[in-house]
Amino acid sequence: MPDARMMRASVLEAPRSMVIREVPRPALGSKEAMIRVDAVGLCGSDYHIYTGEANYNVDERGFPVPLEEHPQILGHEVTGTIEEVGDQVLDLSPGDRVVIDQGLNCVSEGKEHLCEYCASGFSHQCEWYREFGITGLPGGLADFISVPAVNLLKVTSDLPATETVMTEPLACVLHSLETVMSATSRYRFDADDPADRVRCVLICGAGPAGLLFIQALRNLYGYQGALVVSEPDPIKRALAERYGADTVDPTSSDLVDEILTRTGGRRVEFFVDAAGAGIIFEQIPALIRTQATVLMYAHGHGGASLEAMNAVQFRVPTLLCPVGASGGFDEDGRPSIYRKSLHLIEEGSIDVASLVTHVEAGLDSVATSFDDTYGSPGYVKAV
């Protein structure tokens, strides 16, 4: 007879060494809900932790804790069904479908006074921030996860878990664009003077984030100007075109020449790096107009030297580096940007179904997905 105190989890014990283990089921706090995990999105951040390229579980000095010393259960894009609630949880019930804000902040911890970041709407930069599946807290690649009720948003539609799980990726994109819109920039989408208006957007990379950026700019912000996406994969280019972008295959065309031709030599006023490739970072000075806005969304940039920053600097850009899905809190203490993201998905304003190209069978297939599926031709997103 199965032990109700235990559960299955996919445990990363060393880079590229992920095994299924029986681990203790998490304890349920009085203000928490026990979630039976229905779906987990596999993110680029997960992949980089899996391969050993990144490790966000750090000690008190800020140095990474090796996986061999502290194995991790990944999975921060999580949706599931409530199994049980703590005795102080009054607005959620067993059977409710929910999505998770995986970031623990001052409100999650029940602190009497908010830190400067939470108080100003940057919950994912909380002074006490911890994150399920990223900073060492066990994540969603398990049968169950116990989460503060204030970090949960109820799903009100009949959308499948493979779509509601995209709430976190979209929330990250929304936070990034809100950062852009609130920044003091030379060129703006809403500028009254045409000379100060964004005329051309370039997005490098048509993975999940790049494709969500296209939809958000077109569908939410009403941007009607030129929008170019650089992407080598033909399936991703087709999706980008469906969402309203023109595309360039950087493996068959020179991206700089393409941008100069398409903008009449002006270059672009708004650049989004959604790929994280080193060559892209080195091309930025040739792609952007002086005083353009540069949004560094993706991580990585392998092969790019720090000296490449010199040429970027002399373009005098507004350089923005938002991380996560920071936002303020609604009256019930729940994350406003996650609520907005889930609402947009449920009402159909943003298409996420087309982004999920691979649906894996369960915990046993996670390692195979990372090793064989991630980054393969036609791959956009696995759940």
Whether the predicted pLDDT of 216 surpasses 80: yes
Judge if 91 and 200 occupy the same domain.
no
Assigned token pair, 189: 């989408």
- Coil, strand or helix at 327: coil
Whether the predicted pLDDT of 149 surpasses 70: yes
Whether the predicted pLDDT of 375 surpasses 90: no
Judge if 191 and 302 occupy the same domain.
yes
Residue 45 lies in a domain: yes
The whole-model pTM stands at 0.96
pLDDT at residue 261, as a whole number = 97
Judge if 14 and 152 occupy the same domain.
yes
Residue 68 lies in a domain: yes
Judge if 358 and 307 occupy the same domain.
no
Q: For 227-243, what is the mean pLDDT?
A: 97
- Provide, rounded to the nearest whole percent, the portion of the chain with pLDDT above 70: 99
CA of residue 192 relative to chain centroid, distance: 32
Whether the predicted pLDDT of 300 surpasses 80: no
Which structural domain range is residue 294 located in? 173-320
pLDDT at residue 308, as a whole number = 80
The residue among 320, 335, 362 that closes a domain is: 320
Judge if 19 and 158 occupy the same domain.
yes
Residue 332 lies in a domain: no
E strands present in the chain: 6-14, 17-24, 32-41, 77-85, 97-100, 103-104, 130-131, 144-148, 152-154, 200-204, 226-230, 246-248, 268-273, 288-296, 318-320, 356-358, 381-382
Q: How many other C-beta atoms are found inside a 10 Å radius of the C-beta of residue 58?
A: 12
Judge if 237 and 296 occupy the same domain.
yes
Q: For 68-73, what is the mean pLDDT?
A: 96
Q: C-alpha dihedral over 157, 158, 160, 163, to 10 degrees? A: -30
Judge if 375 and 228 occupy the same domain.
no
Whether the predicted pLDDT of 301 surpasses 80: no
Whether the predicted pLDDT of 344 surpasses 70: yes
Name the β-bridge partners of 37: 80
pLDDT at residue 289, as a whole number = 97
- Report d(CA 217, CA 47) in Å as an integer: 27
Judge if 149 and 206 occupy the same domain.
no
Judge if 279 and 364 occupy the same domain.
no
262-266, 283-287, 307-311: lowest mean pLDDT where?
307-311
Reference 299, options 17, 102, 51; nearest CA is 51
Q: How does pLDDT run across 303-335, given as a tens digit for each residue?
A: 777 788 888 899 999 999 998 898 999 999 999
Residue 337 lies in a domain: no
Residue 331 lies in a domain: no
pLDDT at residue 134, as a whole number = 96
Whether the predicted pLDDT of 295 surpasses 70: yes
Judge if 147 and 190 occupy the same domain.
no
* Domains: count for the chain: 2
Q: For 158-178, what is the mean pLDDT?
A: 97
Residue 12 lies in a domain: yes
Whether the predicted pLDDT of 85 surpasses 90: yes
pLDDT class of 129 with cuts at 50, 70, 90:
very high
pLDDT at residue 1, as a whole number = 58
Residue 108 lies in a domain: yes
Name the β-bridge partners of 153: 99
Judge if 205 and 152 occupy the same domain.
no
Judge if 144 and 215 occupy the same domain.
no
pLDDT at residue 357, as a whole number = 95
Residue 57 lies in a domain: yes
Reference 91, options 18, 24, 31, 179; nearest CA is 31
Q: For 47-74, what is the mean pLDDT?
A: 94
Residue 292, domain CATH: 3.40.50.720
Residue 56, domain CATH: 3.90.180.10
Q: Residue holding tokens 């596999």?
A: 42
pLDDT class of 193 with cuts at 50, 70, 90:
very high
Query: How much is the mean pLDDT over the chain?
Result: 95
